[in-house]
Structure 1
Amino acid sequence: MAGDSVSRGHTPAPTGEKLDAPRILCLHGGGVTGEIFRMQARSLIRDLPDFRLVFADGPFFCDAGPGIVPVFQDFGPFRRWLRWLPEHPEIDDDAAIEEVMYSINTAKKEDQGTGPWVGLMGFSQGAKLSASLLYDQQIRMEKEGKADTDYKFAVLLAGRSPLVSFCEYSKSPACVSAGAISEGFHYEGESPHVLRLPTLHVHGLNDGGLHLHRKMLKQYHDPKTSTVIEWDGTHRVPIKKVDVEPIVEWIYKTAGEQGVKV
């Protein structure tokens, strides 16, 4: 079955002509690819000309995600970052972290841009991953005074609870481990792991997972540094101007507040 192997595949081309523009790392959902996410995010790309968006490919092969076929059936093999189905092969946490970070670092290394990596943008499983990577940066800074990244913000398009643990500091009943199945994870009560770096939560009001997106926001994000945009959509990336404009405005505003030069 497709889920039995790890991919060392081609990383899709970035967007944005300016090589020195600040860069946003873009992480696709489960059962798609970086190239598909680039097409799904075409309206956001168009309205973010001062940023360079770089789309990474997840490390693991899997079957197509919900709603991907037939529109994108010729764009496989499809990929994932995390396990969400029992048939996804078991993997230990350290190996899962290594594969995810290898894929991300490969995308960064292969990009010809020279601008700083200032943000993350993810859809669905990629949003969960984006929040988790931003939190990992935060907790490493808190515990060690240093981190390998300096992301200023994350845009979470339909990101489900919970956060994923990427180091020993976040190993907790409140976080799912990197090698575990993330769907069906339940943690009730107040999480000791709260992300305080700026995040934008984009929630489709007709999305079947909306309650899990709201749970992610409520349990794992500081209300002082999180912003919510609700739109009249299902589980997909917004493409209409009326839905995209508030997202773009938040990115420009937050980047400026965080000292990003655009």
Structure 2
Amino acid sequence: MTESRALEKPRILCLHGFRMSAKILETQMHKWPESLLEKLDLVYLDAPYPSMGKSGAEGVFDPPYFEWFQGNQDYTEYENFKECIDFIEDFMVKNGPFDGLLGFSQGAVLAAALPGMQAEGLVFTKVPEIKFLILISGAKLGGSKFSAPPLAANAFSSPVKCPSLHVIGENDLVKPDSIALLDSFVDPIIVHHLEDHTIPRLARSKHTNECIAFLEDFMVKNGPSDGLLGFSQASVH
């Protein structure tokens, strides 16, 4: 990391959920306290494919809605999986560099598999190594819910060493899959919350401190260790 990059905020590419949008995710992320968000450079990207069916966001958020890739009913077959990864990589080449990825739902499923595929040299060959992941309502390709597309067949064949923060809802329909995903990562950091399949509120909560500690650890290892982010856990209520 160059000195100029080290002095910047962590730059994070944010991948929204299934049949949602960058705008929806950005709106939902404002549930997180400004004291945390202001320390991050969050970039939101719309998936490349318009929604091919009804969105769970209808009636709550305005269209358009997008999806990253498509699968059959039991997710044993996929379409546009490699194409969506190429789309993301092209965006990262033109708008990066990025330090980490944040994903929600389908975006988290995709993000979780990318470090393993990148380590194999199959994807993201034109961009720097992914340094960390923030996975909200994630699941594992090749797990009980989703089979693995051929490109991701070995994404979790070895424990993923990429530092990861997993945000898991007590009432989330994918909670079992989010918990199962933890076994695929080395020393995952876990934030539990009481909400369902959503971006949870972290304000006035110990969860904020856990997120701060995770990001502080990243910055200490990848930049100056003299309070670069200006975080103070004692000041978070």
Which amino acid is 2:217 matched to? T
Contact persistence 1:154–1:200 (CA under 8 A): yes
1:69-112 CA distance string (max 9 Å, x none): 2111x231x11112244499x765xx531333224523662x4x
Determine the C-alpha separation between the residues in 1 that align with 2:33 and 2:166.
18
Aligned to 1:176: 148
Structure 1 residue corresponding to 2:70, chosen from 80, 83, 89: 83
Deviation at 1:52, TM superposition (A): 1.0
Contact persistence 1:48–1:248 (CA under 8 A): no
1:144-178 CA distance string (max 9 Å, x none): xx7632221100101012269xxxxxxxxx96116
Q: Give the direction of change, closer, same or farther, for the CA distance of 1:107–1:26 in structure 2 (3 Å limit).
A: same
Which secondary structure does the structure 2 equivalent of 1:117 belong to?
Answer: coil
Structure 2 residue corresponding to 1:134, chosen from 92, 115, 119: 115
Which secondary structure does the structure 2 equivalent of 1:43 belong to?
Answer: coil
Which consecutive unaligned segments of at least 5 residues does structure 2 have?
Answer: 1-6, 230-237
Deviation at 1:60, TM superposition (A): 1.4
Q: Give the direction of change, closer, same or farther, for the CA distance of 1:204–1:91 in structure 2 (3 Å limit).
A: closer
Aligned to 1:234: 196
Q: Give the direction of change, closer, same or farther, for the CA distance of 1:134–1:49 in structure 2 (3 Å limit).
A: same
Which secondary structure does the structure 2 equivalent of 1:75 belong to?
Answer: coil
Identical aligned pairs, as a percentage? 25
Q: Give the direction of change, closer, same or farther, for the CA distance of 1:65–1:251 in structure 2 (3 Å limit).
A: farther
Contact persistence 1:208–1:235 (CA under 8 A): yes
1:203-242 CA distance string (max 9 Å, x none): 0011121111111112x222xx311111111010012402
Aligned to 1:171: none
1:21-61 CA distance string (max 9 Å, x none): 33101000101011111111113372232321001111112
Deviation at 1:256, TM superposition (A): 1.9
Which amino acid is 1:52 matched to? D
Structure 2 counterparts to residues 1-262 of structure 1, below 5 A: 20-44=8-32, 46=34, 47-62=36-51, 63-66=53-56, 68-72=57-61, 74-76=62-64, 78-86=65-73, 96-106=81-91, 109=94, 111=95, 116-140=97-121, 148-162=127-141, 176-177=148-149, 192-218=157-183, 220-222=184-186, 225-241=187-203, 242=205, 245-260=208-223, 262=229
Q: Give the direction of change, closer, same or farther, for the CA distance of 1:45–1:104 in structure 2 (3 Å limit).
A: farther
Aligned to 2:233: none
Q: Give the direction of change, closer, same or farther, for the CA distance of 1:87–1:154 in structure 2 (3 Å limit).
A: closer
Determine the C-alpha separation between the residues in 1 that align with 2:159 and 2:147.
11
Determine the C-alpha separation between the residues in 2 that align with 1:161 and 1:103.
19
Contact persistence 1:36–1:75 (CA under 8 A): no
Determine the C-alpha separation between the residues in 1 that align with 2:140 and 2:74.
21
Contact persistence 1:54–1:107 (CA under 8 A): no
Kindly tell me the number of residue pairs found equivalent between the two proteins.
208
Deviation at 1:196, TM superposition (A): 1.2
Which amino acid is 2:221 matched to? Q
Contact persistence 2:93–2:127 (CA under 8 A): no
Q: CA RMSD in A?
A: 3.2
TM-score (norm 2): 0.74
Which secondary structure does the structure 1 equivalent of 2:70 belong to?
Answer: coil
Determine the C-alpha separation between the residues in 1 that align with 2:148 and 2:163.
22
